[in-house]
Amino acid sequence: MGIPPDGPGEVLVAVRGGSETYAAWSRTNTPLARNARVVVVDSLSARSVIVEPLPS
């Protein structure tokens, strides 16, 4: 499952040479498919972020 339009999903973010999982909400309030490439645009807390689709 990806990120639903009305709730959190998960994203892997490259951090310090590895990757870490964060809870993620869609900035556009549209669902984002599993394995979609996204950009983190804001953080809600230390482990939660807001994302939007990576521009083409």
Percent of the chain with pLDDT over 70: 100
pTM more than 0.85: yes
**List of residues 6+ apart from 36 with CB closer than 8 A:** 2, 3, 53, 54
The tens place of each residue's pLDDT in the chain, 56 residues long, gives 799 998 899 999 999 999 999 999 999 888 999 999 999 999 999 999 999 999 98
Task: Give the separation between CA 49 and CA 23, rounded to whole angstroms.
Answer: 6
2: left (phi over 0), alpha (psi -120 to 50) or beta: beta
